[in-house]
Structure 1
């Protein structure tokens, strides 16, 4: 056995089983079989692979099982890769899909260098992202609970005379309204109770997030991003939790492409044709980016809220945030003056905003905002 050759290993990972295929150097791809997903069985697999070659390269598709397997394999010294399933090359007309075929395909694609690596966060970053996503999920549940209550009231012809914005006046009106039927009143109270429960859950998670972010190593970037217009605590934390270490992008254009805000293109010869944005990457981060870009429709100014977020931040970051605001506001006005649809103009502004987010995040981390900076 040639122990100096590279062993390429493809894993088709499921909840209860892992199908393993491998190839030594440029040799034929062979099936090793199917194993379980427990740590002991993965340990035995590692020993078998280490006996076949000195260098082992392993790949498996990103999926719902997380990165525990990646960390276990990397801990054994393997060159492990988690690849993007949507970017795996596929032959036209290929209609047979099995675990064995998938494992073999991964080995061949890994050996050919045709796979795209997925960024694997650190354990700390993943834990913080889980907390952030729990907060987002709670806010989504609150939104749906409010929609259900509004639909319930509308179906019974109950309408609020003012603005139903869930403000103090609206909530007082809800607390005093009563149905004639005891059954309908019970259903109404349950809808209201669900909303109150979700509000309490959101408050708990937000308090935990604000407490945890101070000890997060990306906290300087969170403070730096909040100097920008449209980027408040929700956006800054959500973006960084999903994006992770922005230094992995060598150029802001790579971040724009990862967020899926670059135009699709189908060009041939002298003809260049661009279409809608690609919408690849993380959809939640892209949503936050576009929502922040809507604020640049208005003339550049520093509001009292933005001024408050500037306190304790280095002047270099504040100046860069102002440059971004001036440029992006001008960018939107120019696109609108050319007759561009508002949605198209905002997405184009969001694309440039991503570049400033990359720049200010890098600048904030390099300057390392002092611990005495004001808490968010």
Structure 2
């Protein structure tokens, strides 16, 4: 019996397969070792293969698609309702097989190896930035115990260390000076590594036409542009800009019933990293007049007059996400509010 659809439950060492024919009758129910997966799919006629979008799923999607199969990835939250009873690999594979055949199911675009590599740069940079912030906070707190006080911000730690080396070294025990010098060296090393990664991201940005297109939006630079271009391989997978903004968690949470619409704060679902980058960019647009004029000063100033700057930044981030989707789907260059009006 020819297999029409397969649900594949991924793991580190053991993979569960659930296959059905065109009528939906089970044909395959088996466990595969990691080394047996590609050989199994190579021996099958081309069919529909469904998997959950999780760690290593994009790699397996690319490898299985080489044998002519149609591979579709689904968010795990959308697959969970199809699990009938219990929680095991066989039940998960059956649920994946059932979910991938639904006509209303939403799928995740398969990323290329280059797109995953670009996202790896972003994740490494985010890790190093977090470590640098932790190190700077540790230096500030340790020095505060000995009477050396400075404000928050990474830029204020280095002057504090210089001032300490010039005037206040005699106020510190030898062990304290040694540890602080060690932390200061680590802080400088982290800064150098972050600069190296940002240089690589900038190179990727200049070579990517989609990233360069998105970067013309006020408030979006190379880091945000490359992150969007690598995370969203196919913007046409979203029906509208609002769907894209909702996927990023930038739309109001709904709790409506009986014909009464109740909207709350944003959902904060979806990609946290992209949402954070867009929010930071929106705050910078609100802060600087030149960027504010390019993004539409009248709309932003009217919004700030009614609501707080944080709420205005969230609304602007939502607008930036919709503009980015429109530009990725149409290929048009960004036009400022003044140019669009003209």
TM over 0.5: yes
Point out where structure 1 has 5 or more consecutive residues left out of the alignment.
304-320, 368-376
In 1, Cα distance between equivalents of 2:53 and 2:152: 49
Aligned length: 331
CA positional deviation for 1:261: 0.8
Structure 2 residue corresponding to 1:185, chosen from 177, 191, 202: 177
In 2, Cα distance between equivalents of 1:274 and 1:226: 31
Q: Measured at CA, do residues 247 and 28 of structure 1 come closer, stay the same or move farther in structure 2, by a change above 3 Å?
A: closer
Give 1 or 2: higher helix fraction: 2
In 1, Cα distance between equivalents of 2:319 and 2:300: 11
With normalisation by structure 2, the TM-score equals 0.84
With normalisation by structure 1, the TM-score equals 0.77
CA positional deviation for 1:64: 1.9
Q: Measured at CA, do residues 191 and 167 of structure 1 come closer, stay the same or move farther in structure 2, by a change above 3 Å?
A: closer
Structure 2 residue corresponding to 1:141, chosen from 131, 144, 147: 131
Residue of structure 2 equivalent to 1:44: 39
Please give the residue correspondences for 1:67-216 in structure 2 after superposition, counting only pairs within 5 Å: 67-90=58-81, 96-113=86-103, 115-160=105-150, 165-166=155-156, 169-176=159-166, 177-178=168-169, 180-215=172-207
Please give the residue correspondences for 1:205-354 in structure 2 after superposition, counting only pairs within 5 Å: 205-215=197-207, 218=208, 220-297=209-286, 300-301=289-290, 322=294, 325-326=295-296, 329-338=297-306, 340-354=307-321
Point out where structure 2 has 5 or more consecutive residues left out of the alignment.
334-342
Q: Measured at CA, do residues 150 and 245 of structure 1 come closer, stay the same or move farther in structure 2, by a change above 3 Å?
A: farther
Residue of structure 1 equivalent to 2:338: none
CA positional deviation for 1:86: 1.9
In 2, Cα distance between equivalents of 1:109 and 1:361: 29
CA positional deviation for 1:284: 0.5
Residue of structure 2 equivalent to 1:14: 11
Kindly provide the CA deviation profile for residues 310-369 of structure 1, in whole angstroms up to 9, marking residues without a partner as x.
xxxxxxxxxxx93xx11xx3333333333x343223212221121222334556x567xx
Residue of structure 2 equivalent to 1:25: 22
Preserved contact between residue 4 and residue 48 of structure 2 (Cα < 8 Å):
yes
Preserved contact between residue 52 and residue 79 of structure 2 (Cα < 8 Å):
no
Secondary structure class of the residue paired with 2:34? coil
Kindly provide the CA deviation profile for residues 48-103 of structure 1, in whole angstroms up to 9, marking residues without a partner as x.
5x2xxx451111112222421111111111111111112224279x7731111111
Preserved contact between residue 29 and residue 104 of structure 1 (Cα < 8 Å):
no
CA positional deviation for 1:212: 3.5
In 2, Cα distance between equivalents of 1:198 and 1:67: 30
CA positional deviation for 1:150: 1.6
In 1, Cα distance between equivalents of 2:19 and 2:87: 18
Secondary structure class of the residue paired with 1:22? strand
